[in-house]
């Protein structure tokens, strides 16, 4: 399992979440996001811990993947933006809590970071939310 294969599999899952309009793969990330692409889910690989899997020389890896959900431009009135973000948090959370594996790796933890701030992408800021998905791989 590679980082890129897990991201690809995660984006297939994200594309199936109610309310997500776009979930581009690493090979198709847009330079900027237009309104018609929102809400968009972007997966970013995070930190990993590698441990020996045993005397045979194999390794176990636990890595976090951040799923940034960019919902509306930050110019959107909060009275409109926040309910849209809350709806996506509920939908994304339900899907990921029900997901047992992604790209052949075991999903061991799902953290809902909520909507703590705006997120930048392509020179613009967006209201959104973030999930951190921890997966365990064995090589």
- Residue pLDDT, tens place only, 94-125: 999 999 999 999 999 999 998 877 999 999 99
Structure confidence at residue 51 (pLDDT): 82
Structure confidence at residue 68 (pLDDT): 95
Q: Which of 60, 72, 68, 73 is nearest to 105 (CA)?
A: 60
- Cis? peptide before 39, omega within 30° of 0: yes
Decide if 7 is inside a domain. yes
Looking at every residue in the chain, the average pLDDT score rounds to 92
Q: Which domain holds residue 88?
A: 3-26+37-138
Domain CATH code at residue 99: 3.30.70
Decide if 32 is inside a domain. no
Tokens 């690989």 correspond to what residue? 45
Q: Are 45 and 3 in contact (CB under 8 A)?
A: yes
Q: Indicate the pLDDT class of residue 26, thresholds 50, 70 and 90.
A: confident
Query: What CA–CA distance (Å, rounded) separates 139 from 71?
Result: 36
Our count of domains for the chain comes to 1
Decide if 109 is inside a domain. yes
H or E element at residue 64: strand 59-73
Q: What are phi and psi of 54, to 5 degrees?
A: 155, -170
- Residue pLDDT, tens place only, 34-74: 999 999 999 999 998 888 767 777 778 899 999 999 999 99
Decide if 128 is inside a domain. yes
Region of 108 on the Ramachandran plot (φ > 0 left; ψ -120 to 50 alpha; else beta)? alpha
Structure confidence at residue 112 (pLDDT): 92
**Single pTM value for the model:** 0.91
């Amino acid at each position: 399992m590679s980082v890129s294969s897990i991201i690809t599999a995660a984006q297939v899952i994200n594309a199936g979440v109610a309310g997500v309009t776009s979930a581009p793969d690493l090979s198709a990330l847009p330079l900027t996001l237009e309104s018609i692409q929102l809400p968009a889910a972007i997966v970013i690989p995070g930190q990993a811990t590698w441990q020996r899997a045993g005397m045979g020389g194999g390794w176990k890896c636990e890595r976090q993947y951040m799923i940034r959900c960019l919902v509306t431009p930050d110019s959107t009135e909060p009275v409109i933006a926040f309910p849209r973000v809350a709806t996506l948090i509920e939908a994304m959370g339900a899907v990921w809590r029900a997901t047992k594996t992604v790209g052949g790796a075991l999903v061991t933890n799902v953290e809902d970071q909520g909507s703590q701030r705006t997120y930048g992408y392509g020179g613009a800021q967006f209201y959104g939310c973030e999930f951190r998905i921890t997966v365990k791989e064995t090589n």
